[in-house]
Amino acid sequence: MLNIIDLGTSKITGISVTESNGRQKVVGFSSKSTAGLKKGSIINITETSKSIAEVVEGLHKESGENIRVVDVSFSGELISSTNSTGLSTIGDKEVSIKDQQAALQTSIAMNVPGDKELLNVVPSQYIIDGQPGIKEPKGMTGVRLEVRTHLVYCSKNSISNIRKCIEEINGLQIRKFYFNQLGAAKCTLSNDQVDLGVCLLDIGAGTTDLTVFKNGSLIFSKVLPYAGDYITESIAIALKIPSSQAEELKKKYGSSISDRVADEALKIKGISGQTDIKVSRRLLCEVIEQSISNIFRSCQGCIEENGLQDSIPAGFILSGGTANLENIEELGSVITQNSFKIGYPEHEPPLNSEKLIKPQFGAPLGMVKFCAEEQNKEFTFNQSKGIIARVLDWLKSEM
Ligand SMILES: Nc1ncnc2c1ncn2[C@@H]1O[C@H](COP(=O)(O)OP(=O)(O)OP(=O)(O)O)[C@@H](O)[C@H]1O
Ligand SMILES: [Mg+2]
């Protein structure tokens, strides 16, 4: 059984799956709201640990299994990424696993700032003697093997805080950490979109995660530190109401296009026994339109700054809880001047996942597919070792 724990800013989600005949089946699901994270990073270890323990208990109850080992996925403003290349000489005319491993090792043997660590290594393509676009090089003939990789880093503190939260839970172990957008594409994007070139935007509560896929591979990722909570805070400030009420109004009466809503007065409870107050629904939606427009403009800016505007003919696909806002596709296409659609995790999802086909579960549901694929690989990047130990291992294996 494979167990994923996805740490979101507003909710922690657990999914347990089993696999038979190559198809996964959800046997446990649990999602609890949490106040332990901000912008994807842990701000309260006790609170986060408590929520994770509740989720693990939920998985145990649904699956009937004791949950001992989990894979942990997360995002956060302290995640960064870069593209790299690696190179090796093909030892015995045909590419072996060792040659592949050697190429990957050279792609990660670069300077990492002291406060960061390498989280995930995603090969996008192999090139043999100048021939690009190879996904599975093993057994192919040639002399020179190159690999293009996407490297994801995160702050050492983030990892250490997550570890502390999990260690507080009796007998629970972490197998591997993942940047959750690596999986998001697995169920939310179609193969055609990933081949043609597409930008997936996951707008959750704390972060907007932007990933670009082209020719079947991840070529760019960026985490922006504002999302649904930023919209809520903007409402709270503009209407002079507490954040909890702003959040409720946003979900119940919100729209991304303000002149589509009737200008009715919404009655809300006064705080600490004060009389009820009235707020304008039009004003509420103007604030929402303004703040979500700011987020979309930042995303568009990020695409342009990185020269990716011609790489996404399939446009933008939106996931994350904020995708539930009314009229969001229309606003997105006006601002980006591109196709802009909500993405549901509906592309070959695991069996028994009907209740998870919502934009806010795209990342955790895709992660169970991504993790299973990683587990089945003949080798993967070893997270538990530092870069020097890994390079030494490689040098030893070459001697
Ligand atoms: N109907 C709705 N209208 C507007 N916003 C909504 C609606 N439903 C959910 N949201 C917003 O979606 C956000 C939560 O999304 P999601 O569950 O994807 O976030 P998360 O995974 O917990 O956080 P993150 O990925 O940012 O760390 C919240 O800001 C919430 O207000
Ligand atoms: Mg999320």
Reported as a single tens digit per residue, the pLDDT across 165-204 is 998 998 899 999 999 999 888 999 999 999 999 999 999 9
* pTM assigned to the model: 0.94
Protein residue whose Cα sits closest to atom 19 of ligand 1:
204
Our answer on whether the CB atom of 254 is closer than 6 Å to any ligand 1 atom is yes
Q: Are 49 and 72 in contact (CB under 8 A)?
A: no
- How confident is the prediction for the chain on average, in pLDDT? 93
Cα–Cα dist 148/22, whole Å: 28
Question: Tens digit of pLDDT for each residue in 351-369?
Answer: 999 999 999 999 999 999 9
What is the full DSSP assignment across 210-265? Answer: EEEEETTEEEEEEEES-SHHHHHHHHHHHHT--HHHHHHHHHHH-BSSGGGS--PE
Residue ranges of E strands in the chain: 2-7, 11-20, 23-33, 37-38, 41-42, 69-74, 79-89, 116-128, 131-134, 144-155, 173-179, 198-203, 208-214, 217-224, 265-268, 277-280, 316-319, 340-342
**pLDDT value, residue 246:** 97
Protein residue whose Cα sits closest to atom 6 of ligand 1:
322
In the reported structure, the alpha carbon of residue 140 is separated from the centroid of ligand 1 by a whole-number distance in angstroms of 46
Tell me if residue 51 falls in helix, strand or coil.
Answer: helix
Question: Tens digit of pLDDT for each residue in 40-77?
Answer: 999 999 999 999 999 999 999 999 999 999 999 999 99
- Report which of 150, 157, 213 is spatially closest to residue 381, judged by C-alpha positions: 150
**pLDDT value, residue 171:** 86
Question: Tens digit of pLDDT for each residue in 309-345?
Answer: 999 999 999 999 999 999 999 999 999 999 999 999 9
Question: Domain ranges in the chain?
Answer: 80-153+381-398, 191-342
Burial group, residue 262, by CB count within 10 angstroms (0-12, 13-18, 19+): exposed
- Report which of 6, 16, 2 is spatially closest to residue 52, judged by C-alpha positions: 6
Question: Tens digit of pLDDT for each residue in 80-126?
Answer: 999 999 999 999 989 999 999 999 999 998 778 889 999 999 999 99
* DSSP strand pairing (69-74 vs 2-7): parallel
**pLDDT value, residue 110:** 77
Burial group, residue 169, by CB count within 10 angstroms (0-12, 13-18, 19+): middle
Q: Taking the CB of residue 46, how many other CB atoms lie within 10 A of it?
A: 11
Q: Are 345 and 362 in contact (CB under 8 A)?
A: yes
**Nearest listed ligand to the Cα of residue 42:** 1
| Assigned token pair, 335 | 């601002």
Our answer on whether the CB atom of 362 is closer than 6 Å to any ligand 1 atom is no
Atom of ligand 1 nearest to the CA of 180: 25
Q: Taking the CB of residue 284, how many other CB atoms lie within 10 A of it?
A: 24
**Nearest listed ligand to the Cα of residue 318:** 1
Lowest mean pLDDT among 32-41, 76-85, 157-166, 263-272: 263-272
**Nearest listed ligand to the Cα of residue 39:** 1
- Which among 291, 360, 365, 367 is the best mutation to test ligand 1's pocket, defined by most ligand atoms within 8 Å of the CB? 360
The band of 272, judged by pLDDT with boundaries at 50, 70 and 90, is confident
**pLDDT value, residue 388:** 47
Per the model's pLDDT, the better-predicted residue between 274 and 193 turns out to be: 193
Question: Tens digit of pLDDT for each residue in 308-317?
Answer: 999 999 999 9
Q: Are 29 and 14 in contact (CB under 8 A)?
A: yes
Give domain 191-342's CATH number out of 3.30.420.40, 3.50.50.60, 3.40.50.11720, 3.40.640.10.
Answer: 3.30.420.40
Our answer on whether the CB atom of 8 is closer than 6 Å to any ligand 1 atom is yes
**pLDDT value, residue 384:** 63
Question: Tens digit of pLDDT for each residue in 3-37?
Answer: 999 999 999 999 999 999 989 999 999 999 999 99
Give domain 80-153+381-398's CATH number out of 2.40.160.10, 3.60.10.10, 3.30.1490.110, 3.10.110.10.
Answer: 3.30.1490.110
